[in-house]
């Protein structure tokens, strides 16, 4: 990830600074936030709410409905996310090498998780790296830890057609070795998980994050809370479970399971929030979900029971802190949004920001 190489505009902004909620002034120079006045800065905002740029913590830049896409199409996906307010992406697995996009200053910052790790016929074809032997998982995790940007993505469960339902892909022992390997290399691990059965092994092995998590129970929620394991529930993707079930007529047990998971998800998520599980916003864009929908995910988190400030934090300052990206502090990259109304109370205001700055430059015209 790079910052602008030229000086860029010198800007002055005045408004309510989030998350603190107090009136403040910020200056921008050389693509970075400055807490002290910058000579010659142009006042472009005098009123409104200033917040760190939005984060999509589960996004697939480079993935389309049929698998990997061209680099040009991946760049267009990233631009669509940027237009929706997302200025930082945790790319949660993609079959193409998107490192060239990280050098393009007009695109959101991307933290890559490398390629999904799965077994043959146990994930979406053309998406992940399929291991011929589950025992190869620690080696594959080491390779992805070196290839990615501090994250590794596992497929924790998927439909097993011989069983006709969701089952885990990996044994507890191989998971423990694989996740320990990632941690030794300074990487964190996350996993796609829909059902219940894979969760105890993943959490017990020390996984850092669970994606979707529709099968969480009181027991696994409490284990996650005690370990600080994060959850990215991808609620706008979970809304597709009924259509997935409708297309699985050959596997009635799996179809019924998906419907049950979908119906229970609001209650499951509320239980996780109340238990203190860290929750972050992710859309699962790529494949079947359109890019640029992070505000829809914030709205969905609120509808599921998360309060307005927490839902916004899950897609802004809290998510940035989790991913190691600074907020609106002196010297930080100037990646921010300005809204006319308070986005903690009205997330719809995020759809039409007064100003979006990425690396200190306006996305679109200055106000």
Residue 285 near residue 60, CB atoms below 8 Å: yes
Q: Record the tokens describing residue 17, joined without a space.
A: 């600074």
DSSP 45: E
Same fold? 11-52+325-362, 54-319: no
* CATH number 3.40.50.300 given to 11-52+325-362: no
**How far apart (Å, rounded) are the C-alpha atoms in residues 352 and 347?**
10
Please give the Cα distance from 125 to 95 (Å, whole number): 11
Q: How many angstroms separate the CA atoms of 97 and 40, rounded?
A: 41
pLDDT for the residue numbered 4: 40
Residue 350, C-beta contacts closer than 8 angstroms, at least 6 positions apart: 54, 85, 295, 298, 337, 339, 343
DSSP state string for 133-161: SGGGHHHHHHHHHHHTTSEEEEE-EEEET
- Nearest CA among 153, 107, 151, 112 for reference residue 129: 153
> Would you say the C-alpha torsion 86, 87, 91, 97 has a positive or negative sign?
positive
pLDDT computed for residue 259 by the predictor:
98
Arch. (CATH architecture) of 54-319: Alpha-Beta Barrel (3.20)
Domain boundaries, the chain: 11-52+325-362, 54-319
Residue 5 pLDDT: 41
pLDDT given for residue 7 in this prediction = 66
What CA–CA distances, in Å, run from 87 to 83, 227, 317? 9, 29, 12
Q: Give the end-to-end CA distance of the chain in Å, rounded to a whole number.
A: 27
CA angle 241, 239, 205 (to 5 degrees): 70
Q: What is the pLDDT of residue 364?
A: 87
- Residues of the chain short of pLDDT 70, as ranges, are 1-7
Instruction: Say what the pLDDT of residue 6 is.
Output: 52
Sequence-separated (6 or more) residues with CB below 8 Å from residue 127: 63, 67, 93, 95, 116, 118, 287
Question: Which residues does 254 contact at the CB level (< 8 Å), separation at least 6?
Answer: 159, 164, 165, 166, 245, 248
φ, ψ (nearest 5 deg) of residue 327: -90, -145
The pLDDT value given to residue 3:
44
- DSSP H helices in the chain: 71-83, 137-147, 172-184, 199-204, 218-227, 235-238, 241-246, 252-275, 294-303, 308-313, 317-323
Q: Do 258 and 194 meet the contact criterion of CB atoms below 8 Å apart? A: yes
65: number of Cβ within 10 Å: 9
Residue 182, token pair as written in the block: 């990632």
Strand 11-17 to 86-91 pairing: unpaired
Tens digits of residue pLDDT in 111-149? 999 999 999 999 999 899 999 999 999 999 999 999 999
Distance CA 77, CA 33 (A): 27
């Amino acid at each position: 990830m790079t910052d602008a190489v030229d000086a860029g505009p010198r800007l002055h902004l005045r408004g309510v600074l989030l998350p603190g909620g107090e009136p403040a002034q910020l200056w921008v120079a050389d693509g970075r936030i400055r807490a002290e006045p910058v000579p010659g800065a142009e006042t472009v905002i005098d009123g409104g709410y200033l917040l760190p740029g939005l984060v999509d913590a589960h996004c697939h830049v480079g993935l389309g409905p049929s698998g990997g896409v061209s680099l040009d199409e991946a760049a267009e996906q990233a631009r669509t996310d940027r237009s929706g307010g997302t200025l930082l992406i945790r790319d949660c697995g993609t079959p193409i090498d998107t490192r060239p996009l990280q050098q393009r200053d007009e695109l959101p910052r991307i933290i890559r998780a490398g390629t999904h790790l799965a077994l043959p016929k146990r994930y979406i074809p053309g998406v992940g790296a399929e291991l011929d032997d589950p025992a190869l998982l620690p080696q594959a995790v080491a390779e992805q830890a070196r290839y990615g940007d501090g994250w590794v993505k596992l497929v924790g469960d998927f439909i097993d057609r011989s069983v006709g339902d969701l089952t885990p892909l990996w044994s507890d022992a191989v998971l423990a070795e694989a996740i320990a390997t990632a941690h030794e290399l300074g990487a964190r691990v996350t996993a796609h998980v829909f059902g219940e059965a894979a969760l105890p092994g993943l959490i017990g092995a020390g996984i850092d994050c669970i994606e979707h998590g529709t099968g969480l129970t009181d027991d696994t929620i409490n284990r996650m809370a005690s370990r600080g394991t994060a959850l990215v529930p991808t609620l706008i993707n979970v809304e597709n479970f009924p259509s997935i079930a409708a297309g699985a007529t050959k596997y009635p047990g799996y179809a019924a399971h998906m419907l049950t998971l979908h119906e229970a998800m609001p209650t499951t998520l509320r239980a996780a929030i109340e238990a203190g599980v860290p929750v972050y916003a992710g859309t699962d864009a790529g494949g079947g979900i359109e890019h640029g929908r992070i505000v829809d995910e914030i709205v969905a988190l609120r509808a599921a029971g998360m309060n307005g400030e927490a839902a916004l934090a899950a897609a802004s300052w809290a998510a940035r802190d989790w991913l190691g990206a600074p907020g609106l502090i002196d010297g930080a990259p100037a990646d921010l949004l300005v809204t006319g109304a308070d986005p903690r109370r009205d997330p719809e205001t995020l759809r039409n920001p007064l100003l979006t700055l990425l690396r200190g430059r306006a996305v679109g015209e200055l106000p």
